[in-house]
Structure 1
Amino acid sequence: MSIQATPAALSRFQEHRLFRLASGARGWVLPVALLLLWQALAQGGLIAVNVLPAPSAVALAGWESLRSGELVQNMWVSTLRALAGLAVGGLIGFGLGIANGLSRAVNDVTDTTLQMVRNVPHLALIPLVILWFGIGEESKLFLVALGVFFPIYINTLHGVRSVDPQLIEMARAYEMSSGALFRRVILPGALPSIFVGLRFALGIMWLTLIVAETIAAESGLGHMAMQAREFLLVDVVVLAILIYALLGKLADIITQFGERAALRWHPAFQKEGAR
């Protein structure tokens, strides 16, 4: 027996899709308006070409770099560096956040040291990191991993400690094992904070990579921007900056999709999906 959707259900589904599309489009209104204003000011001569080229000039530089293959190669290198640093620093931060949230003894041993290290700006360590690792991949990996470590660690720790104690007591009353308690109660309850830390870490990831690649790199978007600076190619420098921004936005969008998928049970996300 086949089940056919009623016209009312189809109408609600279409309205929901249109609402989601309209909500997503609203976020791009301001960036597009700023680009149009930037283009108008540049064409009107109010912005000097050697200060900030027009978006059309930046787009042309991007097309030429894309045709030569340089842009794709540098984007690929930068993306791999960012993801590798995120994987290393994020996994360590997540593991320590879980351990310190679950164990008071582990927290007493490690948290004080971690908080001391957290207050040292990780970008200030660049000269020392170059002395340690040179300008190879290890230096970028270390800096990005260190940058993303603390947002994920702190938010994971906060998430574990913020789980409702009554839920934990109820699970123990039903004689739930420690593994099941973690999988079914503690981890789901900590996920909202973990995703906040992940989104915050993504911004720091790209910020750290930009600085690291402009100072100590032989490839990547930052290196491409520094080479363009030496030849006074301002349009290529602006292109690299815009690509960093777009990659950061893309990473945030992917994280939001993962967040909605993992937290479908959460009341806040159920309300969002029902709009």
Structure 2
Amino acid sequence: MSPLVSPEHLTSASQRADEAVGRRNRGATTAGRGSGSGTRAGGGPATERGTRGVLGTPGGRAVVGLLLPVVLVIAWWAATAAGLFSPVQLPSPASVISAGIDLAADGSLWHHIAISVQRVLLGFAIGGVLGLVIGSILGLSTWADAVLAPLVGAIRAVPSLAWVPLLILWMGIGEDSKITLVAIGAFFPIFTNVYAALKHVDPHLVEAGRAFGYHGLRLLRTVQLPAVVPSVFSGLRLALAQAWLFLVAAELIASSMGLGWLLSDSQNNGRTDRLILAIILLAVIGKLTDAILGLVEQRAIRRWS
């Protein structure tokens, strides 16, 4: 008696069942992909692309960056208009603008700004060059590191105001003492970054440079410094900010011109409007110089990194 179902029929039925399951699984996968792409279209990545579109241009980032300062100015105006503070404690934005116009009219404001910018640029240049040179020496030489690193670390811990009496005693109250103090402030950030970065340069990269015949200063200039360009510019930007801090310390104590002196003089004369004006100018000019250095950094990274 022949079987009711033959093995061939069982095999073909099994194959058809497997194909049906496969088609169902592929359909579910396609549906899942479709729903996933719909989620992306309405949610995360599309929104992220939109956000990147706004922040991907310098103009967009500038507009977004101005939002919080504008909100703070509005809150400042509202607080003074409501009488929450006396004019001595916090003058209105209009009073500060008026103080700036008065100082600009007699030319003293521009003189204060020019003197402070000149001191910062000179001190930053001197401190930056010294930090780059000494950081390179200690980062590349084991003997120099062992001899000089403890002394440099100890000097770095000295507060900025502690240098003022000694510099005045040695150099007087002229420009030399102020520029030297700014140079001290600018020296340590760039020194620290260059020193640490050169310690961690890829040794294979150094060996490849030596294989091409580079040694000493040529190896440093051609291989090692380009390898640490991001760290160098991070140090430079920190050094620039530190230079502005040390400038104010110098001008608060021994100066007759500059934005730091304007701060001190305004405090002594009860001119809070001019005091706040000096603070705002320091913030704005400091940000502008940092932005300029940031543009230089971008070009340097594109060229050497």
Is TM more than 0.5 here? yes
Quick one: which amino acid aligns to residue 249 of structure 2?
V
Tell me the distance in 2 between the aligned counterparts of 1:16 and 1:179: 44
Contact 2:173 2:255 in 1 (8 A): yes
Tell me the distance in 1 between the aligned counterparts of 2:129 and 2:218: 21
Tell me the distance in 1 between the aligned counterparts of 2:68 and 2:193: 30
- 1:171 pairs with one of 202, 209, 227: 209
Contact 1:159 1:192 in 2 (8 A): no
Quick one: which amino acid aligns to residue 240 of structure 1?
A
Quick one: which amino acid aligns to residue 197 of structure 1?
G
Tell me the distance in 2 between the aligned counterparts of 1:19 and 1:253: 15
- 1:92 pairs with one of 93, 111, 130: 130
Tell me the distance in 2 between the aligned counterparts of 1:243 and 1:135: 24
Task: Give the TM-score normalised by the residue count of structure 2.
Answer: 0.78
Deviation (angstroms), 1:26:
1.2
Tell me the distance in 2 between the aligned counterparts of 1:35 and 1:125: 36
* Cα deviation digits, residues 164-187 of structure 1 (max 9, x gap): 111112222333454543233211
Deviation (angstroms), 1:266:
7.4
> Is 1:162–2:200 an aligned residue pair?
yes
Partner of 1:131: 169
Contact 2:226 2:304 in 1 (8 A): no
> Is 1:33–2:71 an aligned residue pair?
yes
Task: Give the TM-score normalised by the residue count of structure 1.
Answer: 0.86
> Is 1:118–2:188 an aligned residue pair?
no
Tell me the distance in 1 between the aligned counterparts of 2:88 and 2:219: 61
Partner of 1:11: none
Tell me the distance in 1 between the aligned counterparts of 2:154 and 2:122: 25
Tell me the distance in 2 between the aligned counterparts of 1:97 and 1:107: 9
- 1:103 pairs with one of 137, 141, 147: 141
Tell me the distance in 1 between the aligned counterparts of 2:213 and 2:56: 47
Quick one: which amino acid aligns to residue 117 of structure 1?
I
Partner of 1:47: 85
Deviation (angstroms), 1:125:
2.3
Q: Are the structure 2 counterparts of residues 16 and 176 from structure 1 closer, same or farther at C-alpha, using a change threshold of 3 Å?
A: farther
Quick one: which amino acid aligns to residue 36 of structure 1?
I
- For residues 1-275 of structure 1, the aligned pairs below 5 Å read 19-264=57-302
Quick one: which amino acid aligns to residue 220 of structure 1?
G
Q: How many residues align?
A: 253
Tell me the distance in 2 between the aligned counterparts of 1:34 and 1:209: 26
Contact 1:123 1:143 in 2 (8 A): no
SS at match of 1:224: helix
Among all aligned residue pairs of Structure 1 and Structure 2, give the percentage whose two residues are the same amino acid: 39
- Structure 2's unaligned 5+ residue stretches are 1-52
Deviation larger for 66-75 or 27-36: 27-36
Larger-gyration structure (1/2): 2
Tell me the distance in 2 between the aligned counterparts of 1:17 and 1:231: 44
Q: Are the structure 2 counterparts of residues 164 and 18 from structure 1 closer, same or farther at C-alpha, using a change threshold of 3 Å?
A: closer
Deviation (angstroms), 1:41:
0.8
Quick one: which amino acid aligns to residue 137 of structure 1?
E
Partner of 1:5: none
Deviation larger for 238-247 or 135-144: 135-144
Tell me the distance in 2 between the aligned counterparts of 1:16 and 1:57: 35
Deviation larger for 135-144 or 254-263: 135-144
Quick one: which amino acid aligns to residue 280 of structure 2?
L
Q: Are the structure 2 counterparts of residues 172 and 128 from structure 1 closer, same or farther at C-alpha, using a change threshold of 3 Å?
A: closer
- Structure 1's unaligned 5+ residue stretches are 1-14, 268-275
Partner of 1:3: none
Quick one: which amino acid aligns to residue 89 of structure 1?
G
Tell me the distance in 2 between the aligned counterparts of 1:184 and 1:16: 38
Quick one: which amino acid aligns to residue 72 of structure 2?
L
Quick one: which amino acid aligns to residue 222 of structure 2?
R
Deviation larger for 252-261 or 118-127: 118-127
Contact 1:61 1:235 in 2 (8 A): yes
